[in-house]
Amino acid sequence: MNVLIVEDEKSLASEIADFLRSENFLCDVAFTGKDASEKIAVNLYDFVLLDLGLPDYNGLELINEAWKYNSEASFIIITARGAIEDKVKGLDLGADDYLAKPFALVELLARINAVARRKFKVDTNNIILGNFEMQLSSRKLICRSDEVDLTKKEFDLLSYLVLNRNKVLTRTQLYEHIWGNILDDQYDSNFIDVHIKNLRKKLNTHAPTPWLETVRGVGYRISYGE
């Protein structure tokens, strides 16, 4: 998942980013509200980890502003502030959770995973796709007792489509989720098509994949029951 860390304590921001990257997250870091505002305006994020005590912005205002551009992003407030009114204001503005400093990184990860489960309505680590079983926690895809040999990016691509089941994802959304900021790369929409083609080829050697659909002119969708 694509995460923006908004934190003016550079050592803490780097520590969080390094930890989440080790857990297969993509991370951007902003040390000021202005920088965060600019990143949110041009990039798609699954999560924004937001410090309220920024040097140039009220973090609560940034939440309100961010809804214009990242309406589907989930916000977790990370701050030293302990006042109950700040917590309530943040949650009222749409933040999904609140974590007071200091905190353990494993607790932050647990909070992110809990929000993701609520957001994507995933109650189990194992998801059935026809003859396939996707094991999210162990990052494995099993078909009739055989493990499908997927690269890290192929698994990330498939799992993101699975988490957004029955929803059409554009090539831009898929690219930014898996590979990060489009502005940092020479983006080519065919890049996603090639990866989907390779993914389908691997899957179809094990079993048919009618649930992996191409939506012409838009992107891709995985269709299966709730």
Q: What is the largest CA-CA distance in the chain?
A: 57
Q: Where in the chain is the domain with CATH 3.40.50.2300?
A: 2-120
Q: What is the pLDDT of residue 148?
A: 95
pLDDT at 89 (0 to 100): 75
pLDDT truncated to tens, each residue of the chain (226 aa)?
A: 789 999 999 999 999 999 999 888 889 999 999 999 988 888 888 899 998 888 888 878 888 878 777 777 889 988 776 666 767 777 777 788 888 888 899 999 989 988 887 877 665 568 888 899 998 878 899 999 999 999 988 998 998 898 888 889 988 888 877 777 655 555 566 888 999 999 999 999 999 999 999 999 899 999 875 5
| Per-residue model confidence as pLDDT tens digits over 33-51 | 999 998 888 888 889 999 8
Please determine, looking at this structure, whether the domain spanning 2-120 carries the CATH number 3.40.1120.10: no
Convert the pLDDT of each residue in 163-195 to its tens digit. 888 889 988 888 877 777 655 555 566 888 999
Residue 185 confidence (pLDDT): 52
Q: DSSP assignment, residue 184?
A: G
Element (H, E) at 19: helix 10-22
> Which residue ranges does the chain devote to CATH 1.10.10.10?
126-222
Q: What is the pTM of this model?
A: 0.71
Q: Which two tokens stand for residue 194?
A: 């090639």
Fold of 126-222: Arc Repressor Mutant, subunit A (1.10.10)
Q: Give the model's pLDDT for residue 6.
A: 95
Sign of CA pseudo-dihedral 203, 204, 208, 213: positive
